[in-house]
Structure 1
Amino acid sequence: MAMAFTSPLPSVDDRLLKAQLVGKIDALLKERGLKQVEAARIFGVKQPDVSKMLHGDFRQFSVERLLRFLVALGQDVEIIVKPHCDAANPATLRVG
């Protein structure tokens, strides 16, 4: 009998989604000229955590928390679920 194994490591899709969200956060911070200390205050975290996040170490942040950071930066976040209609290609998860 085969047993299912669930890895404690985040999936590649999860890491890619987080990287895309952090990319959006980084772009907004740069666009607004916000420093990491200011971003930390807005997000309710410490500055070193913002630094780690912006340098690719975002393991400690869930997708939900990153979405909340975007909202804190004045962004509307919409999650739309719809049927996938292209049988030739896999369904996608996309940050626009």
Structure 2
Amino acid sequence: MTTKKVEVHAGNPNIFAELGLPDADAHFLKAQIVAELYRLTNEQALTQARAGALMGISQPEVSRLFKGHFREYSLERLMGFLTAFDRDVEIVAKPRGTDGARGHITFRHGAEA
């Protein structure tokens, strides 16, 4: 039996950036918002039809959204979906450290904030 050595390295927490995809930061933020919408839907034991009614979209659109098809939704619209679940959305801009790195976008849901 032969053993293969597998190289493991710490990657970027943003899988879209790790894969080198364009607009990786925006796509990662959208994915985090959709994950929160999915979590809220499950937490409140809502059907996709009921969640869709809250957000103003159809059940098939909710299904596509939860399956990761959310490129056609703007960040603004996804944030509006969060407010439909009685969530406040805050955007805070603050100075970045002096390490010279570019700023980044972070999403935290209520339990983490």
TM-score by length of 1: 0.84
| Structure 2: segments with no counterpart, 5+ residues | 1-20, 109-113
Higher helix share: 1
Cα distance in 2 for partners of 1:49, 1:63 equals: 16
| Structure 1: segments with no counterpart, 5+ residues | 1-8
TM-score by length of 2: 0.72
Is 1:25 matched with 2:37?
yes
Matched length: 88
Any runs of at least 4 consecutive aligned residues in structure 1 with deviations exceeding 3 A, and if so which?
none
Distance 1:10 1:38, change over 3 A: farther
Partner of 1:36: 48
Is 1:54 matched with 2:66?
yes
Q: Deviations over 1:47-95 (max 9, x none)?
A: 1111000000001211111100000001111000111124164421000
User: More deviation in 73-82 or 86-95?
Assistant: 86-95
Among the aligned pairs, what percent are the same residue? Answer: 39
Is 1:76 matched with 2:88?
yes
Higher RCO (CA < 8 A, seq sep 6+): 1
| Helix, strand or coil at the partner of 1:24 | helix
Cα distance in 2 for partners of 1:10, 1:77 equals: 25
Letter in 2 for 1:40: G
Cα distance in 2 for partners of 1:25, 1:64 equals: 14
Cα distance in 2 for partners of 1:91, 1:26 equals: 28
Q: State the structure with more CA Rg.
A: 2
Cα distance in 2 for partners of 1:41, 1:10 equals: 32
Cα distance in 2 for partners of 1:89, 1:60 equals: 30
Partner of 2:5: none
User: More deviation in 52-61 or 80-89?
Assistant: 80-89
| Helix, strand or coil at the partner of 1:37 | helix
